[in-house]
A and B are shown apart, each in its own frame.
Chain A
Amino acid sequence: MVQHRLTGATAFGSLLAVLLLGACGNADDTDTSAGSIAEPSLAAHPGLWSYRSTRAHSETAAPVRLRIPSIDVDTGLETLGRAPDQSIEVPRQPSSAGWWAGGPRPGQVGPAVILGHVDSKTGPAVFFRLGELDVGDEVLVDRADGTTARFLVTTLERYHKAEFPSELVYYPTVEPELRLVTCGGPFDPSTGHYRDNLVAFAAQA
C-alpha cells in the first residue's frame, strides 16, 4: 500500500505542470528545477565536509544532598544498592536518606528514587514528616558537581508493602522525575515494621 502513496501526487504534479505551462506559455518560466540542486562544489559549503556527529556525552553528577524546605529536611545521601532478596537496601543511618544507585540520577531523564526512614527505635528519622508534603512543595537535590536539581511534588500516595507499585516507582519515565519513599500506615510491634509505604512523586521544575 505504501508504494503508491505518491503515485497520485506525481500525477497531480504532472497536472500542475500542464496547468503552469498553459498559464505561463513560457517554458523558461516553468523550469522549476532551476536552482533546486546546485552543481557539486566541494568548497561551497564546508559544513558537509567537516561535520562529525556528536560523541560528547556528559554524565549527570551523582546526588550528594537532599533538601526539602517545607518539612525541614537537609541531609546527606547514602548510596543504595540491591539487597540479597532483590529488595532495595535501606539507609544505614536514620538521620540520612539514600539514593538508589541502580537507577537514574536526580535531574536525569527517568525516575530517581530516594529512600529515608520515618523513625527508628530511638525516635523520629529523616523522613518523619514526609507525609506533610503538599502538592507543589519544592524538593532540591544537590549534586557532586555543585549543581542542583529542583523538583516539585505532584502526588503523595500510600501503598501496602505487599502491593508496592514497582512499575510506578521504577519504570522508565520520559522526563526527569523523583520519588521519595518511606514507611507509613499501621505499625506492627510483633514484626517491628510498618504495613505500608508512603511515596511522594515529584517532577522536575
Chain B
Amino acid sequence: MFTPGTGGSAAKAVDRGLRRSCCPRSFVRRRPIRGPFVGSRAAAVGVAACIGAAVFPGCSSQWTADQDEHASQLTAESTAVHDHRSGAAAVKAVDAVDLRAKLEQLLGQHAILTVRLTRARLRGDGDLAQIADAALGENTADLGELIGTVYGGEAAEKFEQLWFGHVTYLFDYSRGVADNDEAVQSQARRQLDDYTTDLSQFLEAATKRAAPASVVAAELRMHVDQLLQQVDAYARGDYDRAFVLERESYEHMFPLGKALAAGIVTGGGGGLPADFDSPARQLQSRLGLLLGEHAELAVDAMRSGISNSPDFPAAGAALDGNTREITAMIESVFGAASAGSFQALWADHIDAFVTYTQAVVADDAALENAATERLKGFNANFAAFLSTSTQGRLGAPALADAFVMHEDLLLRQINAYAERDYSTAYQLSFEAYQHMFALAAQAATAIGDSAAAQSPTGGPQTGAGGMAATKGW
C-alpha cells in the first residue's frame, strides 16, 4: 500500500515548481494541432441529448443559478467571450465531425495524463510529475487551440487558464492526500467546485447556451469526482479501484467531447452534418476509444513493471478488461469463433510486451530477443487474420507495418522510461496513443463495410393475410 508522505522533500520541491507552472501564465499559441484525428463515440449520453435538445426550443439552461462573487467574476469573462463573438466573423465555421474527433482524443489524453500526474505525486516521484505536468500543459494548449479556431485567441486563453486551473487543483489534492494535509485537500475541492461553475458558464456563454451551464457543470463534476476518487483509491492501495476509475474517466471524455462539439457547432449557428453521429461514425469513435485505451494501459502496465510497482496486477487487469471489450466488438461482427482467434492473438502481443518489460528489468538479452521474435510472429498472423476477416478490405502488408510501428513506439517508450528519460517516454507514448486513432479509423471502415456486405438485403415478407392493414401501422 502507498504510504502518504513518502515523497519527502523532493516531492515538496516539485510541488513548489508545479504550483508555479500551473498558475495562470502566458499561453503561447503554437503550431496547428497534429493529425490525424479520427473517431467519435456512439453512446448517446444525457449531456449530448440535452445539449442537442437545447439547440431547439424546450430545453432551457439553468442560467438562473446562484450568482455568487466568483460567478460574477466569471460572468465578466463570459461577457468578454460574448463581446468577442459579437464582432464580425468572430465565430468561425468548423468541421463538426473533425472537431468532435479532436475533442474526444484530446480529452481522453487529458484524463490519462492527469491520472499519471496525480499518481506521480502520490508516489513522490518528482521527475515523473514534472513531465506529466508539462505534457498536460501541451494537451491544454492543444485544447485551447481548438477553442481558438472557433472563438479566437482571447477566448482560447481564458479557456486554457480555466482548464489548467483544474489540473493544478487536482494535483494539489493529490499533494494534500500524500501529505495527509486535510486543509490542502479541502481547499482543492473548493477550487474544483468553483472551476466547474466557471468553465460551464464560460462554455454556455461561448456557445450561446447551446451547451447549458447546468448540463456542462454536471459532466465536469463527474469528471472531477472520478479523478479525485482515483487519487483516494490509489493512495489507500486499492489499485484495482484506481484503475477502474482511470478507465471510467477516460471513457467519459468521449461523450463529453461529442457533446461539446455539438454545442460549439450549433451555438455558432451551424447545423450538424448527417454523419456527425452515424453508425459508421459511432463505430470509428468506439474503436478509437478502445485502441487508444489499449496503448495507454499497455504503457501503464509496462511502466509499472519496470518500476516494480505494486499496482502492476491492477494495471494488468485493466488491460484485460480493455481486451475483453475489443473482443466483444470483434465477436459482434465476425462471430464467436473469430472472436476467440482474435483474443488469442491479441493476448500474445500483450504478453510479448510484458516479456520485453521483464527482459529490461532483468537485463536479459535472450528474453528481450524472445519478446521481439514473438511480436514478429504476431504481426504476420494478426495481419492475416484481420485481412481475411475483412475480405481483403484491410491489406495484410499495411497492417503488418502498422503493428510494427505500434510495437516500436511502445518498446522505445519503455526503454526511455527505464533510462529515466521521461520526456522521451512521454513523447513516444503520446505518439502510440495518436497512432491508434489513425489505425482505428481504417479498421472501423473496413469492419463496418464487411458487416454491411454480410447483412441481408431488402425488407422481409412477414405478413400474408391483410388483417393488420386495418390497424394503420
Cα–Cα, bound, A6→B132 (Å): 10
Report A-chain residues with C-beta under 8 Å of the C-beta of B468: 118-119, 124, 128, 131, 183-184, 187, 194
A204 CB to closest chain B CB (Å) equals 12
B102 CB to closest chain A CB (Å) equals 15
Inter-chain contact total with CB atoms closer than 8 Å: 312
Among A32, A42, A168, which residue has its beta carbon within 8 angstroms of that of B127? A32
Given A1-B34, A30-B10, A51-B354, answer yes or no on A168-B473 (Cβ-Cβ < 8 Å).
Answer: no
Within 8 A of B (CB), among A1-27: 1-3, 5-6, 8-10, 12-13, 16, 19-20, 23-24, 26
For residue A95, CB closer than 8 A to chain B, the reply is no
Cα–Cα, bound, A162→B461 (Å): 12
Given A6-B423, A118-B468, A187-B463, answer yes or no on A54-B21 (Cβ-Cβ < 8 Å).
Answer: no
- Chain A 100-121 interface 0/1 with B at a Cβ cutoff of 8 Å (1 = within): 1011100011100001111111
Contact call B42/A173, Cβ cutoff below 8 A = yes
B429 CB to closest chain A CB (Å) equals 10
Given A36-B128, A108-B331, A193-B464, answer yes or no on A161-B458 (Cβ-Cβ < 8 Å).
Answer: yes
Cα–Cα, bound, A85→B333 (Å): 22
- Chain A 166-203 interface 0/1 with B at a Cβ cutoff of 8 Å (1 = within): 11111111110000011111110100111011100000
Interface size on A, residues (CB 8 A): 103
| B313 nearest in chain A by CB position | A47
- Chain A 58-93 interface 0/1 with B at a Cβ cutoff of 8 Å (1 = within): 011000000000000000000000110111101100
For residue B125, CB closer than 8 A to chain A, the reply is yes
Cα–Cα, bound, A189→B466 (Å): 7
In this complex, which of A16, A115, A169 has the most chain B Cβ atoms within 10 angstroms of its Cβ? A16
Contact call B137/A9, Cβ cutoff below 8 A = yes
One of B57-65, B203-211, B213-221, B345-353 contacting the partner = B345-353
Within 8 A of A (CB), among B86-139: 123-128, 130-131, 134-135, 137-138
| B352 nearest in chain A by CB position | A53
Contact call A193/B13, Cβ cutoff below 8 A = no
For residue B20, CB closer than 8 A to chain A, the reply is yes
Cα–Cα, bound, A181→B459 (Å): 9
Contact call A20/B463, Cβ cutoff below 8 A = no
Report B-chain residues with C-beta under 8 Å of the C-beta of A44: 308
Within 8 A of A (CB), among B156-192: none
Report A-chain residues with C-beta under 8 Å of the C-beta of B312: 45, 47-48, 51
Contact call A55/B10, Cβ cutoff below 8 A = no
A44 CB to closest chain B CB (Å) equals 5
Report A-chain residues with C-beta under 8 Å of the C-beta of B460: 87-88, 90, 115, 181, 183, 197
Report B-chain residues with C-beta under 8 Å of the C-beta of A127: 462
Report B-chain residues with C-beta under 8 Å of the C-beta of A102: 454-456
In this complex, which of B9, B13, B320, B426 has the most chain A Cβ atoms within 10 angstroms of its Cβ? B13
Cα–Cα, bound, A51→B424 (Å): 27
Cα–Cα, bound, A35→B454 (Å): 55
Contact call A13/B469, Cβ cutoff below 8 A = no
- Chain B 434-463 interface 0/1 with A at a Cβ cutoff of 8 Å (1 = within): 100000000000011001101111111111
Among B9, B128, B350, B351, which residue has its beta carbon within 8 angstroms of that of A29? B9
Main SS class of interface, B = helix
| B466 nearest in chain A by CB position | A187
Cα–Cα, bound, A117→B466 (Å): 11
Contact call B464/A87, Cβ cutoff below 8 A = no
Given A102-B456, A183-B462, answer yes or no on A173-B138 (Cβ-Cβ < 8 Å).
Answer: no
Contact call B463/A16, Cβ cutoff below 8 A = no
Contact call B127/A36, Cβ cutoff below 8 A = yes
B386 CB to closest chain A CB (Å) equals 15
For residue B358, CB closer than 8 A to chain A, the reply is yes
Given A47-B313, A55-B347, answer yes or no on A108-B332 (Cβ-Cβ < 8 Å).
Answer: yes
Contact call B279/A171, Cβ cutoff below 8 A = yes
Contact call B357/A35, Cβ cutoff below 8 A = no
Given A30-B13, A45-B312, A108-B328, answer yes or no on A182-B462 (Cβ-Cβ < 8 Å).
Answer: yes
Report B-chain residues with C-beta under 8 Å of the C-beta of A193: 461, 463-464
Contact call B464/A16, Cβ cutoff below 8 A = no
A sample of 8 cross-chain residue pairs with beta-carbon separation below 8 angstroms, ordered by A number, consists of A6-B430, A9-B138, A53-B348, A57-B331, A60-B331, A90-B462, A110-B333, A118-B463
B residues near A (Cβ < 8 Å) are 6, 9-11, 13-14, 16-18, 20-21, 31-32, 34, 41-43, 123-128, 130-131, 134-135, 137-138, 279-280, 282-283, 285-286, 301, 304-310, 312-313, 316, 319-320, 323-324, 327-329, 331-333, 336, 339-340, 343-344, 346-348, 350-351, 354, 357-358, 361-363, 418, 420, 423-424, 426-427, 430-431, 434, 447-448, 451-452, 454-469, 471, 473
Those 8 A-B pairs whose CB atoms lie nearest each other, nearest first: A32-B126, A9-B134, A110-B332, A161-B459, A183-B463, A131-B473, A164-B459, A53-B347
Instruction: Supply 16 further A-B pairs (C-beta < 8 A) apart from A118-B468, A173-B279, A196-B459.
Output: A6-B134, A8-B134, A30-B126, A32-B11, A36-B127, A47-B313, A60-B336, A109-B329, A119-B467, A124-B468, A131-B473, A167-B279, A171-B451, A181-B462, A187-B469, A194-B461
A residues near B (Cβ < 8 Å) are 1-3, 5-6, 8-10, 12-13, 16, 19-20, 23-24, 26, 28-38, 40-42, 44-45, 47-49, 51-55, 57, 59-60, 82-83, 85-88, 90-91, 100, 102-104, 108-110, 115-125, 127-128, 130-131, 158-162, 164, 166-175, 181-187, 189, 192-194, 196-198
